[in-house]
């Protein structure tokens, strides 16, 4: 059993290490915005238009941006199946796809 006096310190450390999903998402969006303004990546709307045009019958659920790899992951749903499409944000080229 942990020392009861140590619990508040442990809780504070856990809170400090935890980054809420919304805060992380905003940070990723800010990085995507800056990268697009600097010309490092294509505009998201242009990438979405390219990919969505090939996804007939699927519902587009939204993007996620990974600043480390400069990729967008676009999420779709078709017939109860989730489809993830990874796209190079610099070129707009599809990198990978999971699902049908």
Residue 1 included in any domain: no
**Number of structural domains the chain divides into:** 1
Per-residue pLDDT tens over the stretch 10-53: 555 555 555 566 676 677 677 877 887 888 889 999 999 999 99
Q: What residue numbers bound the domain in which 26 lies?
A: 7-98
| Position 40 in a domain | yes
Q: What is the C-alpha separation between 73 and 76, in angstroms, rounded?
A: 10
Using H for helix, E for strand and C for coil, what is the string for 9-43?
Answer: HHHHHHHHHCCCHHHHHHHHHHHHHHHHHCCCCCC
Residue 2 in any domain: the answer is no
Structure token pair of residue 78: 């078709």
41-92 pLDDT tens trace:
899 999 999 999 999 999 999 999 998 999 999 999 999 999 999 999 999 9
Count Cβ atoms below 10 Å from residue 74 Cβ, excluding itself. Answer: 22
């Amino acid at each position: 059993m942990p020392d009861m006096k140590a619990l508040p310190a442990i809780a504070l450390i856990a809170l400090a290490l935890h980054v809420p999903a919304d805060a992380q998402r905003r940070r990723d969006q800010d990085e995507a915005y800056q990268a697009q303004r600097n010309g490092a990546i294509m505009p998201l709307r242009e990438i979405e238009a390219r990919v969505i045009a090939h996804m007939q019958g699927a519902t587009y659920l939204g993007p996620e941006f990974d600043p480390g790899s400069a990729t967008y992951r676009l999420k779709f749903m078709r017939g109860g199946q989730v489809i993830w499409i990874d796209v190079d944000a610099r070129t707009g080229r599809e990198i990978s796809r999971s699902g049908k």
